[in-house]
Amino acid sequence: MTNTAMTRTDVRDMYVVHRAFRRELGLLPGLVRAVAPGDTGRAAVLVRHARMLLQGLYLHHTAEDDLLWPKLLERCPPDAGLVHRMEAQHEQVEHLTGLLGPALDRWEVEARPAVAEEVASTLEALRAVLVEHLAEEEREILPLAERHVTQEEWDQLGQHGKGQMSARDLPLLFGSLLEECSPEERTMMLHVVPFPVRLLLRTVFARQYRRYVSEVRGTA
């Protein structure tokens, strides 16, 4: 299945999602290292944020694993090597997030500097792998998806796994996506949600996200 130029799939939302992951993983290591030894309250705030981010990343990659790679392998055989490289990069990300889970558990309880450094350095390693992966995905995969995946199929990626997210985290994750959006991108992202939710995202949830992100970044 190949889209014509007139029906090219709109994949711009993926750039917005990638931008949020790059930003948050870029900020977290410094925030972790700045926590005073023994300050388990502050550590808990950052651990919650990291876990939410990692869960969002897991669901994002699971959607690609389940819904995108099989379609591209079927429809773009000459690019099978590229798709397999994407799968291998996902495995690298999964390995590092697996290391982060226990480290975050220990740091939340102890807030010891040595564990903070373990968390921060693993986050930096994760970001390095992820940044390389996202850049290649944007450069190579998204143009393929525009041509070989229908809009309906693409939209299913954004819905995949939503039921596995905490209800309290979904507005925060969406707020993270909207944080650096241009007006055009904001309109695009809000267009996919029902009107009542869209209204909440512009008002109640927007205020909730501003309070949350101020707490996370220590600017409250």
Q: What is the CATH number of the domain that holds 31?
A: 1.20.120.520
154 assigned to some structural domain: yes
Q: What is the pLDDT of residue 192?
A: 86
142 assigned to some structural domain: yes
Closest CA relative to residue 21, chosen from 131, 172, 164, 160: 131
DSSP string, the chain: ----GGG----HHHHHHHHHHHHHHHHHHHHHHTSPTT-HHHHHHHHHHHHHHHHHHHHHHHHIIIIIHHHHHHH-GGGHHHHHHHHHHHHHHHHHHHHHHHHHHHHHHH--HHHHHHHHHHHHHHHHHHHHHHHHIIIIIHHHHHHHS-HHHHHHHHHTTGGGS-TTHHHHHHHHHHTT--HHHHHHHHHTS-HHHHHHHHTHHHHHHHHHHHHHHT--
213 assigned to some structural domain: no
Q: What is the pLDDT of residue 2?
A: 59
Is the pLDDT at 156 greater than 70? The verdict is yes
Average confidence score pLDDT of the chain: 94
Mean pLDDT of 114-131: 98
Residue length of the chain: 220
Mean pLDDT of 2-10: 72
Mean pLDDT of 203-210: 96
Compare 64 and 77 and report the one with higher pLDDT.
Answer: 64
Is the pLDDT at 163 greater than 70? The verdict is yes
Is the pLDDT at 5 greater than 60? The verdict is no
The C-alpha R_g of the chain, in whole angstroms, comes to: 18
Is the pLDDT at 104 greater than 70? The verdict is yes
* Number of structural domains the chain divides into: 1
125 assigned to some structural domain: yes
Is the pLDDT at 128 greater than 90? The verdict is yes
Using 50, 70 and 90 to split pLDDT, how confident is the model at 48? very high
193 assigned to some structural domain: no
CA distance 147 to 1: 8
What is the phi/psi pair of residue 196, to 5°? -60, -40
Q: What is the pLDDT of residue 70?
A: 96
Mean pLDDT of 188-209: 93
Closest CA relative to residue 205, chosen from 217, 182, 184, 189: 189
Structural domain containing residue 54: 5-163
182 assigned to some structural domain: no
